[in-house]
């Protein structure tokens, strides 16, 4: 038997998480991006070795995506985008967060909730990263070899070509329905 529980975080509940995030962010101020991502990976390892609930384990896969997004050389996050991702990951550097990780069964609950908050905040960045990874994997299959050298620019060029192709198809479909030739047609 499984049990489905929904709960809603009020504005004041979210404020508590945001305040905790700010405190942890301040304490992680001197850490390098490598230290931050290593800490998040260490947390993943600890959770995989623990008796954490399925609810928490499910969210940890999202944490893994966040770490991958911040470290993937092909994706190449930089500037403000990288800073946002690393800021999100700093919460997972501190085991003594809202609910200390050492508390059996519940210790990682706040981490799972924070992952949900972060994923909502970084929804579009995560979606774009997942699309890039899917593109890179498809290209690796198509080329019959590993495609680790594909970059974000390759994916963006593919997307640009798809958009132009769709524009041409739509234009052709519309012009086929007209009785007169458009004055904007290329001669």
Distances (CA, A) of 170 to 34, 68, 99, 162, 166: 47, 37, 54, 12, 6
Cα–Cα distance between 67 and 65 in angstroms, integer? Answer: 5
Instruction: Read off the pLDDT of residues 123-171 as tens digits, 9 standing for 90 and up.
Output: 999 999 999 999 888 888 877 665 557 788 888 888 888 888 888 888 7
Instruction: Read off the pLDDT of residues 13-29 as tens digits, 9 standing for 90 and up.
Output: 888 888 888 888 888 78
Cα–Cα distance between 41 and 161 in angstroms, integer? Answer: 36
Per-residue pLDDT band at 180 (split at 50, 70, 90): low
Instruction: Read off the pLDDT of residues 26-56 as tens digits, 9 standing for 90 and up.
Output: 887 888 999 999 999 999 998 888 888 888 8
Whole-number pLDDT of residue 64: 93
Cα–Cα distance between 22 and 137 in angstroms, integer? Answer: 36
Cα–Cα distance between 34 and 46 in angstroms, integer? Answer: 18
Find out whether 3 and 33 touch, Cβ atoms under 8 Å.
no
Q: Which two tokens stand for residue 104?
A: 């059996």
Whole-number pLDDT of residue 147: 58
Whole-number pLDDT of residue 65: 94
pLDDT beyond 90 at 174:
no
Domain ranges of the chain: 12-121, 133-174
Stretch (H or E) spanning 54? helix 54-71
Cα–Cα distance between 106 and 45 in angstroms, integer? Answer: 17
């Amino acid at each position: 038997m499984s049990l489905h529980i929904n709960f809603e975080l009020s504005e004041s509940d979210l404020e508590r998480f945001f305040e905790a995030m700010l405190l942890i962010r301040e304490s992680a101020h001197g850490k390098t991006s490598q230290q931050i991502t290593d800490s998040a990976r260490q947390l993943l390892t600890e959770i995989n070795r623990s008796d954490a609930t399925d609810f928490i384990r499910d969210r940890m896969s999202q944490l893994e995506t966040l770490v991958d997004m911040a470290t993937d050389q092909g994706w190449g996050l930089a500037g403000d985008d990288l800073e946002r991702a690393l800021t999100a990951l700093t919460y997972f550097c501190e085991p003594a967060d809202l609910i200390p990780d050492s508390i059996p069964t519940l210790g990682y609950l706040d981490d799972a909730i924070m992952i949900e908050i972060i994923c909502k905040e970084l929804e579009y960045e995560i979606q774009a990263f997942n699309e890039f990874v899917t593109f890179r994997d498809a290209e690796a299959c198509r080329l019959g070899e590993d495609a680790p050298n594909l970059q974000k620019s390759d994916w963006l060029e593919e997307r640009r070509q798809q958009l132009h192709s769709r524009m041409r198809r739509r234009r052709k479909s519309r012009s086929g329905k007209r009785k007169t030739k458009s004055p904007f047609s290329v001669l």
